[in-house]
Chains A and B, each alone.
Chain A
Amino acid sequence: MRREIVITGLGAITPLGIGARTVHDRWSAGVCAIEDGEAVCTDFDATDFLSAKEVRRADRFTQLAITACQEALADAGWAGASPYRPDEIGCILGTGIGGIATIEANHARLVDGAAVSPLAVPLMMGNAGAAALAIRHDLRGPVYGIVSACAAGAHAIGAAARAIDCGEAGAVIAGGAEAALTPLSRAAFSALEAISRCGVSRPFDARRDGFVMGEGAGVLVLEDGEQARRRGARILARLRGYGATCDASHLTAPAPDGGGPFAAMTAAMRDAEVEPDEIDYVNAHGTSTPLNDRAETIAIKRALGPRAAEIPVSSTKSAIGHLLGAAGAVEALATVLALRARVAPPTLGWEVRDPELDLDYVDGSSRPLRTNERPPVALSNSFGFGGHNAVLCLEAA
């Protein structure tokens, strides 16, 4: 990044509960939100946060995004009035699938011979979340959705940083949202044998057998550092670097040599102007699938060299399952909070070492980060079907 990009607000709705800090507090305390093989936002009732009209006008993924955004803006001190002109603010939101519950409900009506709702298209479209936030908060800068499967949340944050870096926006609200716990998507992911048959998310463990589907949203407020400081904003973290690559090899399976993720991690560190020795923690993509966790381990070792063996690597998905297009955003804000607390939260459920996977995956409980006085730096990895790789390099403020 040429400019300093700062993070000033965080918001999240996750299976662990309402609020960004809830993710960090409960995950760090060893709470796992997975029940019966899925991770549901059971604490979230849209009518608690949105008007009847807003609830009707939004698929669940957008409802989650609106609510997470509300928290992020309040956290950034924007709750009263925005410190930027509307045309200086962007909004970039990732989603893996978009409004699939809306698609399924309307398809059922079509099959029954009933009328399809005029709200079907505006609710199902993948950019609905970004558009809803723009309307609600009068955001008139670059506003769009990002579609890159399970890397979408991280790509959205990276794209937001680039928009600020090149002067296209002074601030961008960025993140991801997903609500795909529906019959069709369950069946579709199951047909790929991507979902854990035993219903347990235990990334990097020898017994891992697939991911556990989750839902939720994560939203971050990114600002140009100079403007944020001028307005006296509380700065939580810096987004030092961003790297995006593609495996270009297979629609779903990661390249076995971890080449794409390796290149993305390397690009993020180059962008951040940090060396592998300065990385203190890796928030892994760590899906709990046999293929991802092996390829990612190889990629981390290639990217960080000897440093890989010295630092903690853990996966948020051990606590909340896989939030698909929201995962990268929720994991980025979990990384920010871990860095601020100077702890590496654990990979819950990790017990049995896979002989090929030899990093420190933080078994048991949270561990203090050793940082030698300077603010700690981490990589947050996100990869998606299609071979998409997005890596964020974050530093505590």
Chain B
Amino acid sequence: MASTITKDQVEGVVTDALVKFGTERELITPEVTFESLDIDSLDLFELGQIIEEEFSIELKGSDVKDIATVGDLVHVVAALA
């Protein structure tokens, strides 16, 4: 089945969530690492929950264990959806 969710949509959801967490919108790019944005494991738990609810998918620990940048996450989510 073809993916019904675009990378842009995922990027929008991730960016809005990060802004809600207190990150400045201008700092968020595909290349930037979560670490440099001061996004820690608790934020990532919550981000994962938001993505799961938004796109009705299930993110497993193994799906996200190697994610370092915003772009990595968008790529993984877009592939799952």
- Give me the interface of A with B, judged by CB distance under 8 Å: 51-54, 56-57, 115, 117-119, 122
B46: which of A51, A52, A118 is its contact (CB, 8 Å)? A118
Contact: A56 with B45, CB < 8 Å?
no
Chain A to chain B: the 9 pairs with minimum beta-carbon distance, closest first:
A53-B22, A118-B45, A52-B22, A115-B49, A118-B46, A51-B22, A118-B42, A53-B21, A119-B42
Contact: B46 with A119, CB < 8 Å?
yes
A51 CA to B21 CA in the complex, in Å?
10
Q: Which residues from chain A contact B22 at a C-beta distance below 8 Å? A: 51-54, 56
| Per-residue contact bits, chain B 50-70, to A (CB 8 Å; 1 contact, 0 not) | 001100000000000000000
| Residue of B whose beta carbon sits closest to that of A51 | B22
A56 CA to B52 CA in the complex, in Å?
20
Would you call B38 an interface residue if the criterion is a C-beta within 8 Å of the partner chain's C-beta atoms?
yes
Q: Which residues from chain A contact B46 at a C-beta distance below 8 Å? A: 117-119
A115 CA to B49 CA in the complex, in Å?
8
Classify the interface of chain B: helix, strand, loop or mixed: helix
Interface size class for chain B? 10 to 19
Q: Known: A118-B42, A119-B42. Contact between A56 and B21, CB under 8 A?
A: yes
CB contacts under 8 Å to A, within B22-41, are 22, 38
List 23 A-B residue pairs with CB atoms under 8 Å apart, sorted by A's residue number: A51-B22, A52-B21, A52-B22, A53-B21, A53-B22, A53-B38, A54-B22, A56-B20, A56-B21, A56-B22, A57-B42, A115-B49, A115-B52, A115-B53, A117-B46, A117-B49, A118-B42, A118-B45, A118-B46, A118-B49, A119-B42, A119-B46, A122-B42
| Residue of A whose beta carbon sits closest to that of B44 | A118
A117 CA to B48 CA in the complex, in Å?
11
| Residue of B whose beta carbon sits closest to that of A116 | B49
A56 CA to B46 CA in the complex, in Å?
12
A51 CA to B53 CA in the complex, in Å?
26
A115 CA to B38 CA in the complex, in Å?
24
Min CB distance, A131 to chain B, in Å?
12
A57 CA to B21 CA in the complex, in Å?
9
Min CB distance, B48 to chain A, in Å?
8
Q: Which residues from chain B contact A54 at a C-beta distance below 8 Å? A: 22
| Per-residue contact bits, chain B 3-21, to A (CB 8 Å; 1 contact, 0 not) | 0000000000000000011
| Residue of B whose beta carbon sits closest to that of A54 | B22
A57 CA to B20 CA in the complex, in Å?
12
Max count, chain B CB within 10 A of own CB: residue among A54, A117, A118, A119 = A118
Q: Which residues from chain B contact A119 at a C-beta distance below 8 Å? A: 42, 46
| Residue of B whose beta carbon sits closest to that of A53 | B22
Min CB distance, B38 to chain A, in Å?
7
Q: Please give 14 more A-B residue pairs, beta carbons under 8 A apart, in addition to A52-B21, A53-B38, A118-B46.
A: A52-B22, A54-B22, A56-B20, A56-B21, A56-B22, A57-B42, A115-B52, A115-B53, A117-B46, A117-B49, A118-B42, A118-B49, A119-B42, A119-B46
A52 CA to B20 CA in the complex, in Å?
8
Min CB distance, B24 to chain A, in Å?
10
A204 CA to B49 CA in the complex, in Å?
52
